[in-house]
Structure 1
């Protein structure tokens, strides 16, 4: 399909859709509406309407963006969707992703961008996949780090062998139950499903689907949601992966620490660091890891994951590209990995 601008519907007008754009520390745009209203986005996308089941969120969104909104019933089936929509963005709480996705597909909206996790379960994701195949709907899931230029650079260099042979990955996602968002609510699942999905997605993206070796959950007494999940995976090529997701920290930290036979690559929300093997300045006859910056590493000013995913949507919807990053099939496997950890309750 070729079109000058992609008519876009936003469903769920809260944090990731709009609110984070008011965070003075975040690089902009950092929300869905932020992209649509950016100079880049206005040339490619046309915002049509925003929907939310909470009148207060609709009003705040409308006031901040001077944009049309509508307060709708919590049940998607009771909402009539506008005609002529090219793209629906589903950024509701996680528990409602599946229902809204199915409703949009049945309404014959041809392209969906769904916030992670795509559904609360592998079975739910499969229901979306089955209906999407019937209606030929294209689906993106917003694991945004896949579209971040710095993460894409690391994956590309690993694939080309420029960082050596990958040996192990340590992934950690630490959040705080004092400021939990949805990570400790019935609407979002535990920190593994809500926040750890980003780390599991990157592991899957880099390695393909690994097999679980061992895992354990820490669940507080009288609780139903884990405070911590620890897992050990192994890839088909023998790469060992160690995952630690905890909601019991007084800070937020996302880290991916990759070790090859010649390099160490550290990726985190605090930035990236690269180390390579050089003759050791500390021990005669040994080699040490020495810090350096690869020449082709993207400059910070061009690194924006939200622009990345919308650029791919624009390219695909415009007919300039025919492959999608992070398919619904990938996300079914990601949910399968997460569920394999949950099945090992202790």
Structure 2
């Protein structure tokens, strides 16, 4: 099989028995300038000579990886694949991986361009490994080449961004393998691990291999939640006095070390750490059933001058994600039902008293999609470099706070 100078689809054919893990068909990018080559090198974004398109791979085509794009009630994009498609001027999706071959075929019918596909993550990782080592060998020997590779699908992949959207029990191992393989930027789905040891391994890999790890806490990229942070920092509503939250989910825990606290409330805890920093201490109670599975949790995060309270529950017949922040001169309510703002004003009912009066909570409608904002941030902050990833513009503390959520949740499961 070879690369043509024009766009074309590769024909289907069966694979030999010595290539396990691939799909029973091969879909390759051709070497057209608008897409860049599948293997070595990058293409410049159309119309922007100083903007380099980044080669991305997506591991996992489930709900958050891709399939939620079929939900007509959601804003779009609302998945990793949808975001890559919406920002195709900045990214090349060069490979996908999923253990379900039917899902891969369905995805390929949805994706507008040919894409290389794998059923076995190990096969994909092996291809990345050979690419990064080949790049290093060429650079060390001074034999750089811009020629397109004529390799088959077993050839090396040159990857800038790897997206891990697989079940939480393999998040850590796959992210570690990708960072070790030389991928400069790795975006991992939440939760970033199941235990404190997972978070420590990821942090250590970031430092040892000089990689940029991103965690999909997309609320950090929503302009509404960003405005809440600005209001806290500006102290325009006075001193922060108390935070309370509710995260209720219909999800059923699968084992004693997992449940709505880890699967859903991890987003709430990440917001708390973003807004207020890491707490001094945590107390509370986790309610479990006869099998030791989480049914509810009541957590208290202790700071110098206030306490943040979080209630979670499993098997609810509704989903709720709410955070309410009380200040000395106002209140903010934020969550999946929107944003509300109150300020302290002279009471119209009682002499000498003040009451809370609601005011509009406005933010930029043109930038309200957190997925677009997150992927734009990655493209902007993660400058392409060879070997050692550039740290220019990368907010390392953002990732450290995200990893801390796992440490606190693991502690809650073990001690409360």
Q: Establish whether TM, by shorter chain, passes 0.5.
A: yes
Superposed, 1:247-326 pairs within 5 Å as 247-294=314-361, 297-318=362-383, 322-324=393-395
2:303 maps to 1:228: no
CA pair 134-213 structure 1, distance change in 2 beyond 3 A: closer
2:283 maps to 1:214: yes
**Could you say which structure has the larger radius of gyration?**
2
Displacement of 1:68: 2.2
CA pair 134-313 structure 1, distance change in 2 beyond 3 A: same
Larger relative contact order, structure 1 or 2 (CA cutoff 8 Å, min sep 6): 1
Displacement of 1:120: 1.0
Residues 152-181 of structure 1: per-residue CA shift (max 9 Å, x gap):
0110121011121100000111111xxx2x
CA pair 111-192 structure 1, distance change in 2 beyond 3 A: same
> What's 2:170 paired with?
96
Q: Structure 2: any 5+ residue segments left out of the alignment? A: 1-41, 43-49, 129-155, 385-390
2:291 maps to 1:243: no
Aligned residue pairs: how many? 334
Match of 1:15 among 51, 58, 63: 63
Task: Identify the structure with the greater strand proportion.
Answer: 1
Q: Which moved more, 1:76-85 or 1:148-157?
A: 76-85
> What's 1:333 paired with?
404
Q: Is the 8 A contact 2:246 2:321 kept in 1?
A: yes
Q: Is the 8 A contact 1:52 1:58 kept in 2?
A: yes
Q: Quote the Cα distance in structure 2 between the aligned partners of 1:154 and 1:310.
A: 21
What's the C-alpha RMSD, in Å, of the aligned pairs? 2.3
Q: What is the SS of the residue equivalent to 1:311?
A: helix
Q: Is the 8 A contact 1:58 1:70 kept in 2?
A: yes
Superposed, 1:160-171 pairs within 5 Å as 160-171=234-245
> What's 1:33 paired with?
81
Q: TM-score, normalised by structure 2?
A: 0.75
Superposed, 1:52-91 pairs within 5 Å as 52-66=98-112, 67-73=114-120, 79-81=126-128, 82-91=156-165
Displacement of 1:301: 4.3
Match of 1:185 among 238, 249, 254: 254
Q: Quote the Cα distance in structure 1 between the aligned partners of 2:182 and 2:68.
A: 30
Residues 203-231 of structure 1: per-residue CA shift (max 9 Å, x gap):
1111111133421111111x232011111
Q: Is the 8 A contact 1:54 1:71 kept in 2?
A: no
Q: Quote the Cα distance in structure 2 between the aligned partners of 1:328 and 1:318.
A: 17
Residues 229-279 of structure 1: per-residue CA shift (max 9 Å, x gap):
11111113x121000111132100100100000010000101100000011
Q: What is the SS of the residue equivalent to 1:289?
A: strand
Q: Is the 8 A contact 2:367 2:373 kept in 1?
A: no
Q: What is the SS of the residue equivalent to 2:202?
A: helix
Q: TM-score, normalised by structure 1?
A: 0.90
Q: Structure 1: any 5+ residue segments left out of the alignment? A: none
